[in-house]
Amino acid sequence: MNGKTWPPAFTKYPSIENHINASRIAAFRCNGKTDICDWIVCEKIHGANLSFTTNGTNLLCSRRTGLLQPEEKFYNFQAIQEKYCDSVMKCWELARNFEMIESDDTITIYGELFGGIYRHSSVSYPVERVFPVQKEVQYCPHTDFLAFDLRCGADDYVDVEVMWSMFDEAGVPYIRPLKTGCSFKEAIAFGPKFHTTMPALMSNVTESHQNQD
């Protein structure tokens, strides 16, 4: 039985910086952070921040600003929690087996809740009523979740390649990289216009749309 207090204190995920934030980029370069590792480029999904936290026994969800109560109205997150509960628990088991956490530690999977609208004659909508998370970008007719980060314990964020491997084994869906193993200069030079990876992930019909975020 987990011995630490439940629920744990909420930890807000840092806001994602814009790649054209000159002062932030200058700070990275000044601190030598641009050259100490390889960089990756991922698609930013237009949705709502959602995270799963578990201690291997209990499971809760959070939005960007705090813990979600079981009956709280937030894009029917309860259905997403139920859908991926087993996968999240499996991810905790992997972290424990790899000795990344102690038996009473938690893991938190950060990601994006999205979807609920996809206007296309070849795509059918769910029978139940769905409220779109965002209307500007249409991903799928149902709401769904994709992970983008994993924290084990209080402070340790997991290396992306290890994280992807764990997500694959546990069945946690995650955002696919657009480019890997690149320098910081190559990463920030990656254009904001690109062919989205989302239709393939969601098995949707696509008409060569480009992401321009």
User: Exposed, middle or buried by CB within 10 Å (0-12, 13-18, 19+), for 143?
Assistant: buried
- Give a yes or no: residue 192 inside a domain: yes
Q: pLDDT tens for residues 92-118?
A: 999 999 999 999 999 999 999 999 988
pLDDT value at 179 more than 90 = yes
Q: Could you tell me if residue 32 is inside a domain?
A: no
In a domain, 27, yes or no: no
What percentage of the chain has pLDDT greater than the value 90?
Answer: 59
pLDDT band per the 50, 70, 90 thresholds, residue 3: low
How many domains does the chain contain in total?
Answer: 1
Q: How far is CA 193 from CA 44, 115, 140, 177, 179, in A?
A: 12, 21, 20, 15, 14
Rounded Cα distance, 182 and 39, in Å: 5
**What number is the average pLDDT over the span 36-58?**
95
Least confident of 30-34, 80-84, 104-108, 136-140: 30-34
**What span, in angstroms and rounded, lies between the C-alpha atoms of 62 and 111?**
10
Size (the chain), residues: 213
33 belongs to a structural domain: no
* Domain ranges, residue 54: 39-211
- 134 in a structural domain: yes
In 3D space, the residue among 7, 166, 12, 157 whose CA is nearest the CA of residue 89 turns out to be 166
Q: What is the structure's pLDDT at 125?
A: 67
Comparing 10-24, 65-79, 185-199, which segment has the lowest mean pLDDT?
A: 10-24
Q: What sections of 36-181 are H helices per DSSP? A: 77-97, 160-170
The reported pLDDT for the residue numbered 30 is 83
Whether residue 15 lies inside any domain: the answer is no
User: 174: which DSSP letter?
Assistant: B
- CATH number for the domain including 113? 3.30.470.30
Q: Is residue 22 part of a domain?
A: no
Query: Residue 96, Cα to own-chain centre: how many angstroms?
Result: 21
Is 147 inside any structural domain? yes
**In the numeric block, which tokens belong to residue 52?**
């799963």
Mean pLDDT of the chain: 88
